[in-house]
Structure formats: C-alpha cells, structure tokens
Structure 1
Amino acid sequence: MAGQRIGSVLVLADDGSVAGIVSERDVVKAVAAGPERLAEARAADMMTRHVIAASPETSVDEAMELMDSGYFRHLPVLENGRLVGIISIRDLVKYRIMQHESDLDSLKRYITRPS
C-alpha cells in the first residue's frame, strides 16, 4: 500500500462480492495489536468486514456524507453486488473544486459580458 500510495485495498470473495476492506487505519490497528504477528497476518485478519458502499447513482453529496459520517476515506461502488469502482475523498474534493471553478468562470463571463 505504501509503495503504491494506496490508502485502502478491497478484499473480494471468490464470487466477486466485496468481503472487506483493508485501510491504512486497519494496518495501524494490526501493528498496535502485535507487530510481531504482522508478517504472518492476512487481509482477512485485519480487514473491516462491514463495508459501506455506494451505487453508480449515489450523488457526490451522498458519497461525501457517507464518508464523513463513517469516518473513512474510500467508498466502494457496487452495482448488483459487484464492484465497479472505488471513490476516494480526494476524488470528491477534486470534483468539488472543478465544479466551483466552473461556477466562478460562468459568473465572470456573465458579469463581464457586453450589455
């Protein structure tokens, strides 16, 4: 995770469904619980099993609220129980910044247009 600058990894079951998620926080908890056992630890030993997920229809506001209320930074996107993507808080922040910049550009064009 550190080498690839990835904040979380999804764990999939044999049928392709999401079995869990291993986040940086989960790794830190595993280290705190017993660093000597970390070399033998498996994803199943440290993953969060109750994974909150979005659907492709989930709005940006809803996704941000899910992340904020759950105190996590990565949100899997499932369609019919199958993983179709993952959204990070960084993705959502970048989207919001682009949206605000677009709104600002529109306002500037409106204000400066010839009468």
Structure 2
Amino acid sequence: KLLGERKSGAVLVMEQGRMEGILSERDIVRVLSERGAGALDEPVSAVMTRKVVSCRQSDTVSALMEMMTTGKFRHLPVVEDGKVVGLISIGDIVKSRVQEYEREQEALRDYIKTA
C-alpha cells in the first residue's frame, strides 16, 4: 500500500529509528513467483531485503550508478551519522545525468555562438 501511496518503487522498513530493511516492487514480484499469492499475507519482514546497501550525501552520481549497477538494485537509502536522510532511485540519477548533459550542451552552444 505504501509503495502506491508514495509513488515509489521501494520503501524503507524502520524500527525505532533504525533501518531494518527495504521493501521493493522487485521483492514483492520475487516472493509472489516463489510462494504464490499467499505470500501477500506474510509480514513485511519475511519479504523485505535485510542486507541494505546505503550511500552518503557526499557520494558522487557516478559512484551511485556503479553501486546500483553492480548490486542490481534501483534504490539506495542515504545515511548520514547513522540516520536515514533520504532515499535515492535510479530515476533520480537518470534525471540528474540528463540535466547535467543539457547544461553541458547549452554551455557548448553558448561557446560556439561567441567563438
């Protein structure tokens, strides 16, 4: 339900301020294919990914892309000083890269106009 409400492909599972895991659309699809529709009645803790890779705000977009590509996941919690401060998705990264390329193209166009 939270995935739909938040229009996100993943939600963090928190317990007393601590990140216990992450539940993604892929986790749900995986458990449905393994256990059938009855899996929808299982607790989130039985379905979520417990071994969560996280990043820091200071990590570069390139580093995040590498982590996601290598780990084959689409969402990364952002953690600072042991606290979750955000959740970044592959969609966020793609948007960032597109904006970066657009800025570069505009700078090149401006340079060519003045040359």
TM (norm. structure 1) is 0.90
Could you tell me which amino acid in structure 1 is paired with residue 10 of structure 2? S
Could you tell me which amino acid in structure 2 is paired with residue 21 of structure 1? I
CA distance 1:90–1:43, change in 2 (3 Å)? same
The answer for the alignment partner of 2:55 in structure 1 is 54
Q: Distance in 2 between matches of 1:19 and 1:3?
A: 21
Q: CA deviation at 1:73?
A: 0.5
Alignment of 1:23 with 2:27, yes or no, is: no
Is contact 2:54-2:77 (8 Å) kept?
Answer: yes
The farther-off stretch of 4-13 and 104-113 is 4-13
SS at match of 1:33: helix
Q: Distance in 1 between matches of 2:109 and 2:37?
A: 59
Unaligned runs of 5+ in 1: none
CA distance 1:39–1:76, change in 2 (3 Å)? same
Give the counterpart of 1:8 among 10, 14, 19: 10
Give the paired residue count.
113
Determine which structure has greater relative contact order: mean sequence separation of CA pairs < 8 Å that are 6+ residues apart, divided by chain length. Answer: 1
% identical aligned pairs: 37
TM (norm. structure 2) is 0.90
